[in-house]
C-alpha cells in the first residue's frame, strides 16, 4: 500500500502540467502589470476581476462539463438570456422574486432538456444542433421582449450589489458554489466518472453498460440549469436585459475551457483548469483597462494572448506528434 501511495503522487504531477503552465502565464501577467501599476494587486481590484468573470465562470462550468463528456453546447449564452427574460417578465408583471427565480431556472432546465433529448435521440452533431437551438432560444427572447430593453427597476439588484463585510460580493458565492458543484460532480460521483468515460470513448462506454442517451440528456439539462443560474447573476448585475445581451458568451466560455486544458476530443481536462482559463481571460481584460490600453486595440490584444496561451498549452502534444 505504501508503494501505491507514492505512485499516486507521481501520477498527479504529470496530470497537472498544463494547468501549471497557465498559472505561470497568470503570474507573469500579474507581476508585469503590478510593476507598472500597483493598483492591479489591490484587494479591490482582485474582487473586481472576480466579479467581472462571475457570469463567464458559471457558464464555463457548463461548457467544461459538456466538453469533457464529448459534447458541446453553443446555446448556453442564449439560454442564459432567455432565462433572464423570463425572470424579467415575472418581475415586471408583478410576480415575486421567488417565482421569478424558480421560473428562470425552469426555463434553463427546459432548454437544456430539449438540447439533450434532440442530441441523444437524433445522434446528430451537438455543435450543429445547439447552433440551431441557440437561434430558437434567441428568437424566443426576441419575441418575449419585442426587442425592447427590459429594466428591473432595482427590484432584483440585491444579488449584484450586496457585499459581505463590505468587501465580498454575494454574487461570488454563486461562482464558488457552481465551481464546487461541477468539481464534485465530475470527480466524486459515479455520474462524473461515467461522463468522462463517454467523452473518452463512447463506444467503449456503451459496451461497458452505460446508458449513453440518459447521461447525455442529463448533462445537457445540467448545462441548461447552470445557464439559468448564470442568468440570475447576469440580470442582477445589469439590472436589465436585452435579447441579444448574451451573444458571444458561449464562445468565451469555450475559449476559457480550452485554455484551461479541456479538449474538443472529450474525456480530458479538469474543472480547476477551466476555472484557471476563466481567470486568465478576466485578468487579461482587467490588466488592459488598468494599463489604459487604447480600447480599440484591446480586442485584438486579448485575441493574441489567447492564441499564444493555447499554443503554449499544446506544446507537449506537438512534441509527441513529431516523434
Residues that bind other proteins (CB under 8 A): 1, 4, 7-8, 10-12, 14-15, 184, 187-190, 193-194, 196-197, 200-201, 203-211, 265, 267-268
**Between residues 96 and 189, which has the closer beta carbon with respect to other proteins?**
189
Q: Which is nearer to other proteins, 182 or 205 (CB)?
A: 205
Minimum CB–partner distance for residue 195 and other proteins (Å): 11
State which residue, 69 or 88, has the beta carbon closest to other proteins. 69
CB of 198 to other proteins, least distance (A): 9
Question: 306-311 long-range CB contacts below 8 Å, 24 or more apart?
Answer: 306/255, 306/259, 306/281, 309/22, 309/25, 309/259, 309/280, 310/258, 310/259
Burial class (CB in 10 A: 0-12, 13-18, 19+), 194: buried
Query: Considering the complex, what minimum distance in angstroms separates the CB of residue 264 from other proteins?
Result: 13
Q: Which is nearer to other proteins, 143 or 184 (CB)?
A: 184
DSSP-assigned letters across all residues of 137-149: HHHHHHHHHTTPP
Contacts for 271 with CB less than 8 Å, ≥ 6 apart: 61, 64, 65, 179, 182, 183, 186, 187
CB of 269 to other proteins, least distance (A): 10
Q: Is 163 helix (H, G, I), strand (E, B) or coil?
A: strand
Q: What is the number of other CB atoms lying within 10 angstroms of the CB of residue 192?
A: 19
State the DSSP code for 151: E
Q: Of 168 and 191, which CB lies nearer to other proteins in the complex structure?
A: 191
Min separation Cβ 1 and other proteins, Å: 7
Amino acid at each position: 500500500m505504501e508503494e501505491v501511495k507514492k505512485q499516486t503522487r507521481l501520477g498527479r504531477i504529470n496530470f497537472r502540467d498544463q494547468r501549471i503552465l497557465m498559472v505561470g502565464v497568470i503570474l507573469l501577467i500579474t507581476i508585469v502589470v503590478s510593476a507598472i501599476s500597483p493598483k492591479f494587486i489591490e484587494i479591490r481590484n482582485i474582487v473586481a476581476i472576480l466579479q467581472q468573470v462571475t457570469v463567464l465562470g458559471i457558464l464555463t462550468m457548463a461548457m467544461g462539463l459538456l466538453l469533457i463528456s464529448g459534447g458541446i453546447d453553443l446555446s448556453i449564452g442564449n439560454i442564459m438570456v432567455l432565462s433572464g427574460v423570463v425572470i424579467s417578465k415575472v418581475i415586471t408583471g408583478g410576480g415575486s422574486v421567488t417565482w421569478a427565480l424558480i421560473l428562470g431556472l425552469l426555463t434553463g432546465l427546459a432548454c437544456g432538456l430539449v438540447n439533450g433529448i434532440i442530441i441523444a435521440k437524433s445522434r446528430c452533431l451537438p455543435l450543429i444542433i445547439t447552433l440551431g437551438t441557440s437561434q430558437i432560444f434567441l428568437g424566443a427572447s426576441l419575441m418575449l421582449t419585442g426587442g425592447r430593453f427590459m429594466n428591473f427597476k432595482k427590484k432584483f439588484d440585491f444579488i449584484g450589489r450586496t457585499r459581505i463585510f463590505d468587501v465580498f460580493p454575494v454574487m461570488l458565492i454563486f461562482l464558488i458554489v457552481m465551481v464546487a458543484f461541477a468539481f464534485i460532480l465530475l470527480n466524486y460521483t459515479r455520474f462524473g466518472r461515467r461522463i468522462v468515460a463517454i467523452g473518452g470513448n463512447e463506444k467503449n462506454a456503451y459496451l461497458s453498460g452505460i446508458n449513453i442517451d440518459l447521461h447525455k440528456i442529463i448533462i445537457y439539462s445540467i448545462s441548461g440549469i447552470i445557464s439559468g443560474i448564470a442568468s440570475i447573476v447576469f440580470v442582477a448585475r445589469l439590472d436589465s436585459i436585452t435579447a441579444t445581451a448574451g451573444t458571444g458568451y458561449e464562445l468565451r466560455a469555450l475559449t476559457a475551457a480550452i485554455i484551461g486544458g479541456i479538449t474538443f476530443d472529450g474525456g480530458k481536462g479538469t474543472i480547476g483548469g477551466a476555472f484557471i482559463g476563466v481567470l486568465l481571460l478576466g485578468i487579461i481584460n482587467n490588466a488592459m483597462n488598468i494599463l489604459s490600453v487604447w480600447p480599440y486595440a484591446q480586442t485584438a490584444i486579448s485575441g493574441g494572448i489567447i492564441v499564444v496561451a493555447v499554443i503554449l498549452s499544446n506544446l507537449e502534444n506537438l512534441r509527441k506528434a513529431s516523434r
